[in-house]
Amino acid sequence: MNQNVRALVIGAGISGIRAALDLAEAGHSVLLTEKALAPGGLLLSLDRQFPDNHCGLCRILPGDITGRVWNACMRRGFGHPDIEYLPGVEVLDIQGTPGNLSALMNRRGLKVDPQKCTGCLECLKVCPVSQPYPLAPGLGQCKAVHPSAPHKPDNWLSINPDACTLCGKCMEVCPTGAIHAAEGNGPESMDKLSLAVLATGVEYFDPQLHNHLGCGHWPDAITSLDFERLISGVGPTRGVLRRPSDLGKVRKAAWIQCAGSRNLKLNADHCSGICCMIALKQALLAREKGMQCALFYMDLRTPGRNWQKYLNQAQQKGIRLIRCRPHSIVRDPGEDSLRIAYAPAPGEQRDENFDLIVFSVGRDPGYKLPAWAGQEGVIVTKGSERVLDIAGSLIAASAAAGRALRSFSDSCAQPGGEAYVSEHEHIHPSVLVVGGGPAGLSAALSLAEQKTQVVLVEKKDHLGGHAIKSMVPEVREQVLELRDKVQKHPEIEVLNEARLQSCTGPAGRFVARLLDARGHKREVKHGAAILACGTNPSRVETEDPRIINVFDLPEKLLSPDAPGNSSGRTVFILCSGTRREPADYCSKVCCQLALRQAIEIRRLNPESEVTIFYRDIIVQGDDEQLYTRARSDGVCFIPYLPEKPPVFQAGEKSVTVQGVDPYLKEDLQIEADRLILASGVIPESASDLARIFDIQSTEHGFLKEADVKYRPLDSVRAGIFVCGSGRNPVLAGEAVLEGEAAAQTALSWLARGRRNWPGSFVRVKTALCSLCAMCLQACPFKARYPDEHTGAMAVDALACQGCGACIAVCPNKASAWAGQEEEEMHELE
């Protein structure tokens, strides 16, 4: 195993753990530092996460059943032979060059040795400090010495170095001498690091500091982070929702969105991206406990394939959605609850009382990366720049791990070499990438730059997908650059106009059959496949040149004789084909495209009028600035309700668009010179690919991943990965990131072929097997296949994760644990 790479990963939240695992699984040695004691970061306080409202954190573990790797719930711990975990360590600075970095670290404060600590908690009694409880600052105080994480035993105490006064009282009372100044306390330098990944995550907005709507003044107005602790089974109230002020029962709760985001006064012209989903989740969890829930919002942002459904579910469960930003919160004398005052429409004043108010906080507008983050050789995960959901953070982390490795790829581990598990079960050290859009290109290039052979197949006669026509110059340039590099790279073979026909073989020894551009048959052996097919714009059925698909507009916009270009009125209707059945998902790309176009139209012709009918403007992160800009440029935005979408009629002189004025509740009519429809995208080739590669697809035909939160780019089949818009609509930049992440995930898988894999934990007693194939249906990872030679089922050792489903379902135990007889399982004596 190539251990000449020594990687530093800073931050042991899920991003850091993911990056560390990716590096370690690819065969490198990793140092993982964490400021706190317990690994897990924010996830330690999120018991349940959207969209399934459960956990599943353990699924980020590599599925390694050899016993090398921690194989239990990560809330209890974490371990990997190639990862050295350094808790209580803060990185202060990094210097040097890629391949030879040195980091200045600080081991901080006092430490409690879990080996010696008996959990008597004497120290807690004497500690003079009182600090806000680190996981939930709004929910009260604790001592400087406190339990390290909700799930950790009492002998896992941390001392917050920022709060600790070093008075030494705890050391005096500790009966076992478990508390000591950490060895090597203080700054220390670590040299000869090959690369560093910064995965500390962002800081969250603290409404108290800004006295945002009186938060801080009212104990019952808390942040969404505090709420997670309040509803947690291991939180201060053991999961019973109580008002922090008087522990009274909560009957009614309200969420106020965009606290510290989308707020120009706070200089926060960004959308934090996931607070809408977090709020919906929290409301759903509260609803489960019988609470009445209301959500105050401006736009409910549910981008992509899955979240619209989640929103529908929330509405079905009776969560009230109020489109409006409350202007004040007060408590009336003699009342226990807080009163929210708001104006849902101009001149319409309302108020309502709630027991609990939750501020949905996002990235602190003042948050900045440390200065050394810009150091060459230090790769910053996207999740440390903006708030991302779980899948997003993991994707960003894998991509960062890949970028870090590529930053000095010469000394990287070489795939190939002895790629053997046993003679029969090696993984072919090459990857088939399907789809030449931004995701596919970036996957191919990342793989090639890490010395892995790639065959890239593309249906069309050119690479780059729709992105090469993008309106955004940076995107165009990025994709064109990728395309050039891919076309020139010696490790990559590009097959344009190729048609895939089948892919067979056990995991790691796949054989794809395809027809190349000339119609010749080709067989491609590969160890992994990355399915990166994109989406296509859905068609707008019209002959009328004035009615235009938002995806066709850029070209038409630039041509001087385009209708209505010189002056007149342009109307956009967003979500005209999506976010309702039969395409009940968000295409994610249309909103930002429409905003850019609206801005451009106004720029080209300041006389023109632009109106946008929308349900929710769904842009995230800094794309929020497009929205701000469009509004200040005089674009008129009119929200509509899904049950009353605007209708249009093409007349002789103009296209008449009829909608409803949301405030006056009156009909509203616009004679437009040009109507632009955002009809959304459809994953045209995804379900075919899913069939060819024997993986699942969603009801709307997107490629389905193994687990939408924790294994976003894996399919259920080992060695087959999915990314890009064909899985879940993404912007071009995100597609590039997903491609890189998928490449990294694929490389970890290929590396498995170079490790000594012990074979499967299950076996088939061929003489007993009647080929009923029940196990084949039961195996969640498609690790079983009929073996022609033995006439019995066989197990694909590299795909098997040892779940035992096949054994439970096999009636006569032809399927059995490898090291064990069935009879032994029953020996109860």
Partner 1 sequence: MHNFTLIKTKGDPGRTVNSLLAGLVEKELVQGVLTLAVGPFSSLPMPSLLCSIEQIKNSSPLAPAAGVSAAVHAARISRGPEKFRTAAVLRPCELRALVELAKLNQARLENLVLISMECPGRLENRRYLELRSEHPDLDVDYYLHPDLQAEASGTCLSCTDFIPEYVHLGICLLGLDLKQEIGISWHQEQGEELARVMEFVSGQESDSRRQAIKELEAARKNAWLNLQEKTAQEISTPEGLQKAIGDCLGCFNCQRACPVCFCRDCVSSREAFEQDPEELYDRGARKGSLRLPTDLTMFHLTRLAHMAHACVGCGQCSSVCPSRIPLADIFRTTGASTQEELGYRPGRSPDEPVPLVRFSEEKDT
Partner 2 sequence: MNTQDNLKRHPGEETGQDLNVLALVCNWCTYTAADLAGVTRLKYPTQVKLIRFMCTGMIDVRYILRCFLEGADGVFIGGCHPGDCHYLSGNLKARVRIKGLRPVLEMAGIPEQRLRLSWIGASEGKKLQEELTGFTSEVRKLGPASFRQMHLV
- What residue ranges bind partner 2 (CB under 8 A)? 47-48, 52, 54-59, 71-73, 75-76, 150-154, 232-234, 238-239, 706-707, 716, 778, 780-781, 801-805, 807-809, 817, 819-820, 824-829
Quote the tokens at residue 31: 């140092």
Asked if 120 touches partner 1 (CB under 8 A), the answer is no
Residue 795's binding partner among ligand SF4, partner 2, partner 1, none (Cβ under 5 to 8 angstroms by kind) is ligand SF4
Residue 644's binding partner among partner 1, ligand SF4, partner 2, none (Cβ under 5 to 8 angstroms by kind) is none
Quote the tokens at residue 730: 């993404």
Per-residue 3-state assignment (H helix, E strand, C coil) for 18-77:
HHHHHHHHCCCEEEEEECCCCCEHHHHHCCCECCCCECCHHHHCCCCCCCCCCCCCCCCC
Quote the tokens at residue 661: 């004025």
Residue 366's binding partner among partner 2, ligand SF4, partner 1, none (Cβ under 5 to 8 angstroms by kind) is none
* Residue 609: closest CA among 652, 664, 564: 564
- Give 385 or 705: the residue with its C-beta nearer to partner 1: 705
Asked if 264 touches partner 1 (CB under 8 A), the answer is no
Asked if 772 touches ligand SF4 (CB under 6 A), the answer is yes
> Residue 606 contacts by C-beta under 8 Å, 6 or more apart in sequence?
none
Indicate the helix (H) or strand (E) that contains 554. Answer: helix 553-558
C-beta of 237: minimal distance to partner 2 in Å?
Answer: 11
Write the single-letter amino acid at 90: E
Given a contact cutoff of 8 angstroms between Cβ atoms, the answer to whether 793 and 774 are in contact is: no
Residue 239's binding partner among partner 1, ligand SF4, partner 2, none (Cβ under 5 to 8 angstroms by kind) is partner 2
- Kindly tell me which residue out of 768, 787, 803, 818 binds partner 1, with binding defined by CB under 8 A: 768
Asked if 783 touches ligand SF4 (CB under 6 A), the answer is yes
Sites for ligand SF4 among residues 749-768 (CB under 6 A)? 762, 764
- Roughly how many angstroms between the first and final C-alpha of the chain, as a whole number? 44
- Kindly tell me which residue out of 78, 297, 640, 781 binds ligand SF4, with binding defined by CB under 6 A: 781
With contacts defined by CB under 8 A, name the span among 63-71, 513-521, 688-696, 766-774 that binds partner 1. 766-774
| Contact code string over 708-747 relative to partner 1, x by CB under 8 A | ----------------------------------------
- Give 647 or 825: the residue with its C-beta nearer to ligand SF4: 825
- Give 496 or 766: the residue with its C-beta nearer to ligand SF4: 766
Asked if 826 touches partner 1 (CB under 8 A), the answer is yes
Asked if 706 touches ligand SF4 (CB under 6 A), the answer is no
Residue 651's binding partner among partner 2, ligand SF4, partner 1, none (Cβ under 5 to 8 angstroms by kind) is none
Asked if 770 touches ligand SF4 (CB under 6 A), the answer is yes
Size, binding site for ligand SF4 by CB under 6 A = 27
Distance CA 713, CA 720 (A): 9
Residue 764's binding partner among partner 1, ligand SF4, partner 2, none (Cβ under 5 to 8 angstroms by kind) is ligand SF4
With contacts defined by CB under 8 A, name the span among 17-25, 560-568, 725-733, 764-772 that binds partner 1. 764-772
- Give 487 or 770: the residue with its C-beta nearer to ligand SF4: 770
Specify which residues 259 forms β-bridges with. Answer: 361
Asked if 198 touches ligand SF4 (CB under 6 A), the answer is no
C-beta of 714: minimal distance to partner 2 in Å?
Answer: 11
Q: Which residue's structure tokens are 């009353």?
A: 644
Is the preceding peptide bond at 729 cis, omega within 30 degrees of 0?
Answer: no
C-beta of 823: minimal distance to partner 2 in Å?
Answer: 11
Distance CA 743, CA 445 (A): 9
Size, binding site for partner 1 by CB under 8 A = 21
DSSP 427: P
- Give 263 or 801: the residue with its C-beta nearer to partner 2: 801
Write the single-letter amino acid at 396: A
Asked if 418 touches partner 1 (CB under 8 A), the answer is no
C-beta of 805: minimal distance to partner 1 in Å?
Answer: 9
Sheet-wide strand order for 348-354: 328-330, 338-345, 348-354
Residue 154's binding partner among partner 2, partner 1, ligand SF4, none (Cβ under 5 to 8 angstroms by kind) is partner 2
Distance CA 458, CA 475 (A): 20
| Exposure string over 741-773, b if 16+ CB within 10 A, otherwise e | bbbbbbbbbbbbbbbebebbbbbbeeeebeeee
Positive or negative: CA dihedral 178, 180, 182, 183: negative
DSSP 428: P
C-beta of 277: minimal distance to partner 1 in Å?
Answer: 18
Given a contact cutoff of 8 angstroms between Cβ atoms, the answer to whether 267 and 582 are in contact is: no
CA 217 to chain centre: 34
C-beta of 47: minimal distance to partner 2 in Å?
Answer: 4
Residue 800's binding partner among partner 1, ligand SF4, partner 2, none (Cβ under 5 to 8 angstroms by kind) is ligand SF4
- Kindly tell me which residue out of 773, 790, 791, 820 binds partner 1, with binding defined by CB under 8 A: 773
Quote the tokens at residue 68: 């090398």
Given a contact cutoff of 8 angstroms between Cβ atoms, the answer to whether 102 and 188 are in contact is: no
| Contact code string over 796-825 relative to partner 1, x by CB under 8 A | -------------x-xxxx-------xx--
Distance CA 116, CA 157 (A): 11
C-beta of 41: minimal distance to partner 2 in Å?
Answer: 16
Residue 152's binding partner among partner 1, ligand SF4, partner 2, none (Cβ under 5 to 8 angstroms by kind) is partner 2
Distance CA 73, CA 90 (A): 26
- Give 63 or 161: the residue with its C-beta nearer to partner 2: 63
Q: What is the largest CA-CA distance in the chain?
A: 91
Quote the tokens at residue 613: 């009918």
Quote the tokens at residue 366: 């003042």
Distance CA 16, CA 11 (A): 5
Per-residue 3-state assignment (H helix, E strand, C coil) for 489-545:
CCCEEEECCCEEEEEECCCCCEEEEEECCCCCEEEEEECEEEECCCCEECCCCCCCC
Sites for ligand SF4 among residues 307-326 (CB under 6 A)? none
Asked if 775 touches ligand SF4 (CB under 6 A), the answer is yes
Sites for partner 1 among residues 33-62 (CB under 8 A)? 52
Asked if 234 touches partner 1 (CB under 8 A), the answer is no
With contacts defined by CB under 6 A, name the span among 51-59, 190-198, 480-488, 774-782 that binds ligand SF4. 774-782
Distance CA 377, CA 383 (A): 18
Distance CA 641, CA 34 (A): 46
Asked if 771 touches ligand SF4 (CB under 6 A), the answer is yes
DSSP 818: T
Residue 823's binding partner among partner 1, ligand SF4, partner 2, none (Cβ under 5 to 8 angstroms by kind) is partner 1
Distance CA 605, CA 608 (A): 6
* Residue 208: closest CA among 101, 136, 154: 136
C-beta of 509: minimal distance to partner 2 in Å?
Answer: 23
- Give 513 or 813: the residue with its C-beta nearer to partner 1: 813
With contacts defined by CB under 6 A, name the span among 54-62, 187-195, 231-239, 801-809 that binds ligand SF4. 801-809
- Kindly tell me which residue out of 771, 790, 791, 820 binds partner 1, with binding defined by CB under 8 A: 771
Write the single-letter amino acid at 330: V
Distance CA 99, CA 376 (A): 10
- Give 197 or 762: the residue with its C-beta nearer to ligand SF4: 762
Point out which residues bind partner 1 (CB under 8 A): 52, 767-774, 777-778, 809, 811-814, 822-823, 826-827, 829
Point out which residues bind ligand SF4 (CB under 6 A): 762, 764, 769-775, 778-779, 781, 783-784, 793, 795, 800-806, 809-810, 814-815
